[in-house]
């Protein structure tokens, strides 16, 4: 089951910043993401993307290969958006050509701004998700007066996702060892059997887990026993970081990289 362990939840519990208060990390990631999205120039979002990636990989200790794989999909969408906006949106065609299409300068500038905002915003989300366990994130919602029942339901739903994945993985490998995916006809039949039985198997496994929780005195609340550092230096550092970004947005508001 190593594939299930090497996941976002695994690294969220096993990183160099896991003892820092989740309120600090959430404030850091969310405020930085908002400033990155508000920047009228691509300079600050690009800086944010590099800085948050550096913090996540080299300070938090997330493996670089896993991190690059984690951000590869939004990066691909960002590059695709950049290409489409440069080729099909704009009023100032240039002499530059890409295949059989002219490149629009204003579309290129807008596309690069969108790409930089995508990367700046997603690296902030990656920082939060790879350094803060989901149960600690939900616990912070209590501070903004979200009803406890909603938080507990969300935590249980998150746990059921992994049960669903585990059951699907077990059934898929069992079918694969019996040559269930040998050929198109067998693959369709095996996939249909997997889909029809997956819900029932997941439901039964969820019932077993709930019964196990009840035998351990579960009364509608999932406690967390983790302690965090209460050093104010992290909050001061976050405030200084956000002020620096806000000043940078002001001085770079008219700069275009492309």
pTM of the predicted model, to two decimals? 0.79
| Position 59 pLDDT exceeds 80 | yes
Q: Which of 43-52, 92-101, 211-220 has the highest mean pLDDT?
A: 43-52
Residue bearing the bigger pLDDT, 51 or 138: 51
Q: What is the mean pLDDT of residues 110-128?
A: 93
CA angle 50, 46, 39 (to 5 degrees): 135
Please choose, from the candidates 126, 1, 157, 116, the residue with its C-alpha nearest in 3D space to the C-alpha of residue 57. Answer: 126
Q: Which of 5-14, 117-126, 234-243 has the highest mean pLDDT?
A: 117-126
pLDDT at position 147: 81
Is residue 257 within 8 Å of residue 39, measured between CB atoms?
no
- pLDDT tens by residue, 222-245: 666 555 655 678 888 889 999 999
| Position 12 pLDDT exceeds 60 | yes
Question: Hey, what are 162's tokens?
Answer: 């992994």
Question: Hey, what are 235's tokens?
Answer: 């909050």
- pLDDT tens by residue, 73-106: 999 999 999 888 888 887 776 667 767 777 788 8
Q: Residue 1's pLDDT band (boundaries 50, 70, 90)?
A: very low
pLDDT at position 9: 80
Please choose, from the candidates 201, 212, 246, 197, the residue with its C-alpha nearest in 3D space to the C-alpha of residue 47. Answer: 246
Over the chain, what is the mean pLDDT?
A: 82
Please choose, from the candidates 121, 127, 158, 130, the residue with its C-alpha nearest in 3D space to the C-alpha of residue 53. Answer: 127
């Amino acid at each position: 089951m190593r594939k299930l362990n090497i996941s976002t939840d695994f690294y969220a519990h096993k990183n160099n910043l896991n003892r820092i208060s989740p309120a600090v990390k959430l404030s850091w990631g969310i405020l930085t993401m908002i400033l990155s999205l508000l920047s009228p120039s691509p300079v600050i979002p690009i800086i944010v993307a590099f800085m948050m990636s550096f913090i996540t990989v080299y300070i938090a200790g997330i493996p670089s290969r896993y991190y690059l794989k984690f951000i590869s999909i939004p990066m691909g969408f960002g590059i695709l958006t950049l290409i489409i906006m440069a080729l099909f949106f704009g009023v100032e065609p240039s002499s530059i050509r890409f295949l059989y299409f002219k490149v629009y300068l204003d579309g290129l500038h807008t596309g690069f701004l969108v790409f930089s905002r995508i990367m700046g915003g997603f690296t902030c989300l990656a920082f939060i998700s790879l350094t803060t366990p989901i149960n600690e994130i939900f616990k912070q919602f209590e501070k903004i007066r979200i009803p406890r029942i909603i938080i507990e339901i969300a935590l249980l739903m998150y746990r059921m996702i992994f049960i669903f994945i585990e059951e699907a993985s077990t059934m898929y490998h069992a079918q694969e060892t019996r040559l269930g995916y040998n050929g198109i006809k067998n693959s369709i039949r095996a996939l249909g059997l997997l889909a029809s039985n997956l819900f029932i198997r997941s439901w039964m496994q969820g019932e077993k887990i709930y019964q196990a929780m009840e035998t351990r005195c579960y009364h509608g609340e999932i406690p967390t026993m983790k302690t965090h550092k209460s050093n104010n230096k992290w909050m001061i550092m976050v405030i200084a970081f956000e002020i620096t970004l806000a000043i940078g947005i002001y001085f770079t508001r008219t700069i275009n990289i492309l």
